[in-house]
Chains A and B, each alone.
Chain A
């Protein structure tokens, strides 16, 4: 097994999540795929990085992912009643 295999796993996950992000219409789904993209980056950190240092950064990435999910979902829940929709394509005005 080479490191290329591990990189390929993480890159495939990232690309699939990116495909989902680009084709998803709903804001919640987009945020889900964003989390999966971060997750794939985390796998690359753990699999390819030099031991303990990369794992320490992976732990910090966990915290960033949690913060991002919290703010993102709060934004979506605050946005949805104003626009009466969760579809990114229907939110066109800046001042709702």
Chain B
């Protein structure tokens, strides 16, 4: 019961924060609203008994990625991003496209209405996850390390080029 309530509360909080973020023009306030959405997602993971994922969500998303965004907002001059709100037609078109996406997704998933779930507290099964990662999914895991290596090299090359050009 309390877990179901937690799912609704954290879900509503995440949706509300994202909704406010769409209409927030100040980028720093938008970043803080994004932080709220990410933290309530962590709460949602906790309610769904995914404790490891909740921790990773806080460390990776709310910690590392948010810091990256704040740094990006600080190093770029404010004059480059001060701009009036986009044209009304563009906003309406964007919102309409998103509404169509939502309607289609909800229509497609009506079959899920028959599937009952009763979220209960359970242990996260970190050991099983580790066995999966280093067992059947080891190829994907190694591929992922390659992706991260490529992204590190890419980021260093992009920013180092800028430094030498000065």
Contacts and interface: CB of A to CB of B under 8 A. Distances in A.
Interface of A: 1-9, 11-26, 28-29, 31-33, 35-36, 39, 42-43, 46-48, 51-53, 55-56, 58-60, 62-71, 73-78, 80-81, 84-87, 89
A4 B144 contact: no
Contacts of A9: 7, 11, 14-15, 44
Contacts of A14: 101-102, 105
Contact of B15 (A13, A67, A87): A13
B22 A20 contact: yes
A29 B72 CA distance: 11
B27 A28 contact: yes
Contacts of B15: 9, 12-13, 16
**Interface size classification for chain B:** 35 or more
Contacts of B69: 28, 31-32, 69, 73
B145 to A, nearest CB: 8
Given A55-B50, A87-B83, A78 B106 contact: no
A32 B37 CA distance: 11
> Interface residues of A: mostly helix, strand, loop or mixed?
helix
A28 B72 contact: yes
A2 B129 contact: no
Contact of A2 (B18, B22, B94, B113): B113
Given A1-B4, A80-B76, 15 more contacts: A7-B109, A15-B101, A18-B98, A19-B99, A26-B83, A39-B37, A39-B61, A60-B137, A60-B144, A62-B60, A63-B144, A63-B147, A64-B144, A68-B151, A73-B69
Contacts of A74: 154-155, 158-159
B86 to A, nearest CB: 5
A26 B81 contact: yes
Contacts of A29: 27, 30
B18 A17 contact: yes
A52 B132 contact: yes
Contact of B53 (A5, A46, A87): A46
Given A7-B112, A28-B76, A22 B102 contact: no
Contacts of B151: 67-68, 70-71
A62 B41 CA distance: 13
B61 A48 contact: no
Contact of B83 (A8, A11, A25, A70): A25
A36 B18 CA distance: 8
A47 B65 contact: no
